[in-house]
Amino acid sequence: MTPIHLVLANVRSALNVGSMFRTADALGIEKVWLTGYTPTPDHLTVKKTALGAETTVAWEQVVDPIACLDRLKADGVRVYGLECGVGGAVLLDRAQIVRPCAIVVGNEVDGLSKMQIDRCDGILKIPMVGSKESLNVAVAAGIALWEVVHRD
């Protein structure tokens, strides 16, 4: 397994959660953390979308997103939030990322909370050239994870 974790903080869509499980499986992500009200693989739509990846990727539910981030940090995992609307965010392709690490994605509408951002060791954003300022959370997670996994 790759020493990279994926934290889903209050992701509301079971379709997005299932999609991120498939991405995590494809990239050999160590663990998916489901926090807040993020649906778990017990949800039928997560299972349907994950197509079995929920059984091949380690996952854990932690109700409090802050507790999850604190736990990862206490275990020596660097925590990087993926958020486009935060001042000081570093472009993903230029960021210095230290492993083991966790990529944290937030709610589809509200993103990461200030408390979640404050717990991060760095904030990453995906370079974009179109007129839209954000991507679907599952797509953004896939891009970020692929970039981090494929670094030397």
Using the 8-state DSSP alphabet, how is residue 109 labeled?
Answer: T
**Which pLDDT value is given to residue 28?**
97
CATH superfamily of 2-149: SPOUT methyltransferase, trefoil knot domain (3.40.1280.10)
User: For the segment 46-73, what is each residue's pLDDT rounded down to a tens digit?
Assistant: 999 999 999 999 999 999 999 999 999 9
Cα–Cα distance between 10 and 39 in angstroms, integer? Answer: 9
Report the share of the chain in percent with pLDDT over 70: 99
Where in the chain are the domains?
Answer: 2-149
**Which pLDDT value is given to residue 82?**
98
The model carries a pTM of 0.97
Mean pLDDT over 86-108 rounds to: 96
Cα–Cα distance between 151 and 86 in angstroms, integer? Answer: 24
